Amino acid sequence: MKLAPIPMTPAYRHGSQTPWGGDNLKKVFGKDIPDDRTGESLELSAIPGLNSVSDKGEKFGDLIARYGQDLTGTAVTGEFPLLLKLLDARETLSVQVHPDDVYAGRVEGKLGKTEAWVILHAKEGAQLVYGVKGGVSREELRAASEQGKAVEGLLRRVDVKPGDVYFIPAGMVHAIGEGIMLYEIQQSSDVTYRFYDWERTDKNGNKRELHIDKAIDVTDLENQPEAARAVDLGNGRYQMLKEHYFSLEKWVDCENELKADPRVFKIVTAIKETRITWENGECTLKPGCTALLPANGYDLTIQTGEMLMSYPTVD
């Protein structure tokens, strides 16, 4: 049985979970956020307790259990591999790093976390922390992190603008700066190790938990990449990334056919209005909305002003 595209309703991380969050997910995309410190809209999530929900009210984990590889694809084995978020950073996020699969599996019993960001909106002068400065030793990083504010001087910062794409492999120190809204595709993992949280405290004067020992263990001090460069695929399609865990495309002002691929699912997120049609069916995604395209699905026609599409990389 072929499966139609499934529009999704996100889960949210907010309040004390995202003290850096704001209300731009509502202002820009009209999302029904729970409060004005909503940092993350989990557009497609199989994370326990943070499942996104189909347009028919079914939790994503239940859909996976019901349809299996008809939904995910024959190339997908084990747990669902990807997590897609939209993030709103009213303030700068903590300085953090993620482990790879080997370390996360051994220490946390979970997948590691490699991710990528597409900058959707950025205030003038907005920056990311994107690695540490060249020549910094592990001992220097540990000493500065234990002091707290001293770590700020070791961080590598890059200016960003809308449309920029940044790849963040496991082991790379990073932080999203204030005034940035972005799209994040990542491995389906919630493992994060914090170095530093800018001396932030909650209403009771308590600082957030740090994980300096684990963070130092997994940091790659040599990784200093630049923003990704798009490859023009023709007819309004661009390959933004093709990495081990996921690939990312952008479609702009175009109408294209998309054949179903029984090996793998795809995720589409409308940045501008996007219309999807198939045999005896159609749906329209408003800006900021996401749909899952099942592996055992229909051949589609997609007409879009702008959309992002992510999927597990297959040869």
Q: Can 194 be counted among the known catalytic residues? A: yes
In this structure, what are the phi and psi dihedrals at residue 294, rounded to the nearest 5 degrees? -60, 150
Taking each continuous run of H as one helix and of E as one strand, the counts in the chain are: 6, 21
Q: Taking a C-beta distance cutoff of 8 angstroms, is the pair 262, 2 a contact?
A: no
Catalytic residue among 13, 194, 200, 237: 194
Side chain identity at residue 105, one-letter code: G
Query: What single-letter DSSP state applies at residue 75?
Result: T
Q: Taking a C-beta distance cutoff of 8 angstroms, is the pair 54, 67 a contact?
A: no
* 271 token code pair: 């940045």
3-state secondary structure of 288: coil
3-state secondary structure of 259: coil
Catalytic amino acids? 194
